[in-house]
Amino acid sequence: MRNGSFDDARFLSPKTVGGTPVMIALYVEDVDATIDRAVNCGATIVKPIQDQFYGDRSGTIADPFGHKWTTATHIEDVSPEELEKRAADLFGGS
């Protein structure tokens, strides 16, 4: 359950306490449509949607209460060897 603050019950939203250490991760069928819909409902982009080296397409939003959501769609299976190569290319390893 996520929501804004209910002061009488001492349920505080992330905005009330200056942020959150919690990140909600959610896999969906269409990350682009899901994040577009969330933004149209008042969410803000924290990290734009992009293809990730490990085979997901993802982005992060903050909902109007301050909860952060990383939303993703799996777009390709990446072999362990290819994953290692991509990580090395991205992070400067060998």
Tens of pLDDT along 50-94?
999 999 999 999 999 899 999 999 999 999 999 999 999 999 876
CA dist., res. 90 & res. 27, Å (int)? 23
Tens of pLDDT along 7-57?
566 677 888 888 888 889 999 999 999 999 999 999 999 999 999 999 999
Q: CA-CA distances (angstroms) from residue 56 to 1, 15, 68?
A: 26, 29, 18
pTM for the model: 0.81
Whether the Cβ atoms of residue 70 and residue 57 lie closer than 8 Å to each other? no
Q: What is the pLDDT of residue 22?
A: 85
User: What is the architecture, at CATH level 2, of domain 20-91?
Assistant: 2-Layer Sandwich (3.30)
Q: What is the pLDDT of residue 7?
A: 57
Q: What is the pLDDT of residue 80?
A: 97
Report phi then psi at 49, rounded to 5: -65, 135
